[in-house]
Amino acid sequence: MTVAGADSPVTLQSDPFYTPPTGWDSKAPGTVLNSRPVEVASMGPQALDADAWQLLYRSTDADGLPMATVTTVLRPRGGEIKGLVSYQAATDASAPQCAPSVALRQGAPDQYDSSLDLMTIEQVLSTGHAVSVPDWEGPKGVLFSARQPGYAILDGVRAAERFEPLALSGVDTPVAALGYSGGGFGTGWAAQVQPTYAPEVRLVGVAVGGGRAQLASYLKGLNAGPFAGFLPSLLPGVMRSDPRVATAFGNHLTPAGQALLARGDSKCVTANVGQNAMLNMDDYLTIPFSQVMDQIQTSIDSWEFQPESATPPMFVYNAVHDEIVAIAEADRMVAQWCAAGARITQVRDQLSEHVALAITGTAATLRWIDERLAGQPVTDGCATRTVTSMALDGA
């Protein structure tokens, strides 16, 4: 079964752009291996009014081995570029057509899944910043793995800084990272690994929205609920992240369960969620889903963030009544990082739910990012505010 193979590649192999040239694996991380101009979609019928390219670049996977992946880089037309924002899309699926380098392009078949991403990218460009949107799941479409998302994000930044048409200032470029929901998971890893993996990158601020839950609790909480459709979307990528996880599920999936995940592995998250509400994974396994999760607990615990004091300043925002990621999980993550000496501004929004906050929280988040890219300092320590609405209170 394809989804049970931890080494199963999901890259669009029919497109030769994704195949790195001979000798690519001996290059330094962040080396641009190939590039091409592209048109990125907008919320309207026309392509986005920005210059855009795709860069194939060398990065590193969770095992420390060479990996080649793609970032879509954009710059506003006209004017000086003030900084670079690495934006991590909440792909939440590992089918090839769901990767940002495919889904963001003008005319892509699954454009609906990218609607929130396109809105955010346009807003970042309007503030005078260049944007890097990496395929942070990598060529195998792994989800929730440790370290690899951070490596892919930071090497995408390195590639962008080296790509002359973007006209950045090399390692002097101020950089911020932003991700919401699933994209926030990868963004958090960029904050953690930057001090040791890419110390030359001027990562001045990291914004993470929509939660960061303990993975086992999060997946168990989805089962048999209104958002259970995330499971056939997420599990194939989770299984690719670790062969022990793939084996545990492979041992207990029924033929119907294998077919369910194979279908989920071929679709993007909106279709999976819409078609699988209230799905109970117990019906597709020979033992209860919770018991399978218990079997892989040790493996997935190793994917959790390990708080470090050296991380860049962070802005963390969540909906108090988030129906997908419990606010208690976000509060727990912030408490852990703050105890380790991190500098965090946390905002808790009382009116929004998960999807709404992705829209209503963007303006305040981008103001915080703009201040960091402009060189405004942050206060040491942590501060938490609970507001009625980030849109109304300005956060």
Q: What is the pLDDT of residues 294-321, one digit of tens each?
A: 999 888 877 777 767 678 999 999 999 9
For residue 9, the model assigns a pLDDT of: 43
Output the average pLDDT for the chain.
Answer: 92
User: What is the residue type of 333?
Assistant: M
Q: What is the pLDDT of residues 8-47, one digit of tens each?
A: 444 555 799 999 999 999 999 999 999 999 999 998 888 9
pLDDT bucket at 110, cuts 50 / 70 / 90? low
What phi and psi values does residue 392 have, to the nearest 5 degrees? -90, -35
How do strand 66-76 and strand 50-60 relate by DSSP bridges?
antiparallel
pLDDT bucket at 187, cuts 50 / 70 / 90? very high
Return the structure tokens found at 23: 């000798």
Euclidean distance between CA atoms 270 and 112, whole angstroms = 8
pTM, entire model: 0.94
Looking at the predicted structure, is the pLDDT value of residue 2 above 50? Answer: no
> Quick one: which of 156, 159, 206 has its CA closest to 185?
206
What phi and psi values does residue 188 have, to the nearest 5 degrees? -60, -35
Looking at the predicted structure, is the pLDDT value of residue 5 above 60? Answer: no
Residue 322: CB atoms within 10 A of its CB come to 24
Euclidean distance between CA atoms 314 and 296, whole angstroms = 30
